[in-house]
Amino acid sequence: MMEEERIFAGVLFWPGHPELRAIKLRAHNLCTRYNRTFEDDTEERSRILADLLAELGEGGFLQGPIYIHYGRHTRIGKRFFGNFNLTIQDDAPVTIGDDCNFGPNVTIVTPLHPLLPGERRVMLDENGDRRHLCYAKPVRIGHDCWFGANVVVCPGVSIGENCVIGAGSVVTRDIPANFVAAGNPCRVLRTISEADSMACKPEILAGCRVIPADRSVLG
């Protein structure tokens, strides 16, 4: 089994393997190139992201700077917005749905390390060689999710569609669809409903209007 295949199988792998180091170096260099571009250099930014990510749907925008570990393990849907300092440590696959919006400093993490310090330092791989080993679990985020600033999504977490995750949350377990969740650790607070429509907040609308079709996403 190749080392990248071990990642996808969810078993221990050696992150220092030359195969993996080459993938990460390429991704890190592409991120550095992206972070050196100007925001209005849209063609160059698009080229870099096409080389970096496994998929980025139409209308996606990453403010930058970005920090993405493998790149080719990340798939992002259409009309994505990622604010400053988006970090994706995508050892295992990361999947983000359509129409997601991330505030500043959102971090998605997939790798896990042994809890015992001796095992973190060194273990024996399948060939009996002494290695620094870890493993990883995929992260899945549904369509139409909004993450506040400084949200951290931990390995193995799935977040359902239409969720709002409050600023500063550390998401350690799955969040079902259509919920507001927040905290450290992140907990479900309540269901999102039509009562949350901006149509119910005339003092904030200030002459703006809700498009009725957009109010049926939870139906």
- Note the pLDDT of residue 218: 53
- Residue 155's closest CA among 73, 51, 62, 54? 73
Q: Which of 17, 28, 69, 113 is catalytic?
A: 113
Residue 217, pLDDT above cutoff 80: no
Residue type at position 198: M
Share of the chain above pLDDT 70, in %: 97
pLDDT of residue 181: 98
Cis preceding-peptide flag for 185 (omega within 30 of 0):
yes
Q: Is 113 a catalytic residue?
A: yes
The pLDDT tens digits of the residues spanning 162-197 come to 999 999 999 999 999 999 999 999 999 999 988 888
Please give the single-letter amino acid code of residue 109.
V
Predicted pLDDT at 219: 47
- 215: confidence class by pLDDT, cuts 50, 70, 90: very low
Considering only residues 4 and 198, tell me which one the structure prediction assigns the higher pLDDT: 4
pLDDT at residue 116 above 70?
Answer: yes
Instruction: Work out the average pLDDT over 49-75.
Output: 98
Looking at every residue in the chain, the average pLDDT score rounds to: 95
Domains, the chain, in order of start with CATH, read: 3-193 (2.160.10.10)
Q: Give the model's confidence band at 213: pLDDT under 50 very low, under 70 low, under 90 confident, else very high.
A: low
pLDDT digits (tens, 9 = 90+) for 123-143: 999 999 999 999 999 999 999
Determine the pLDDT at residue 61.
Answer: 98
Mean predicted confidence (pLDDT) in 67-79: 98
